[in-house]
Amino acid sequence: MSTIRHRTGLKIPRSGIYRVYHNEHRLPHEVTLLADEIFPGCAQCGNAVRFQLIREVDIDPEGFQVKLHQIPEKTPIEAANKVETKKAA
C-alpha cells in the first residue's frame, strides 16, 4: 500500500483500488478508479477528500463502464443501517 495521498482534481496515476478519506463526515471507504481520469470530489465535503492507493489493478478501460465523477453522499439505506446498528448495540 502506498503512503502517498492524492487530492481531488489531480490526474489518477494508476488504475486501482483507493482508500478514500473524507473531511470528518464519513469513515474511510474504498473505490476503484481508472488511470488518467481525475480524482473526484465529494458531494458533501467537496474537495476535502484524499485518496490512497491500496492495490494497483489491471483494468481494461473498454470493459469498465462506470466512471466516478463525484463521490456520492451516503444513501438513505446506508444511513438507516447505521442507525439500526447503533440501536442493536
Q: Write out pLDDT tens, residues 6-44.
A: 999 999 999 999 999 988 788 888 998 989 999 998 888
Q: Give the Cα separation of 79 and 75 in Å (integer).
A: 6
Ranges 37-46, 53-62, 75-84: which has the least confidence: 75-84
Domain ranges of the chain: 5-88
Q: What pLDDT does 47 receive? A: 80
Residue 4 pLDDT grade (very low, low, confident, very high; cuts 50, 70, 90): confident
Ranges 30-34, 49-53, 67-71: which has the least confidence: 67-71
Contact 59, 21 (CB under 8 A): no
C-alpha cell at 42: 465529494
Query: HEC profile for the chain?
Result: CCCCEEECCCECCCCEEEEEEECCCCCCEEEEECCCCECCEECCCECCEEEEEEEECCCCCCCCCCCCCEECCCCHHHHHHHHHHHHHC
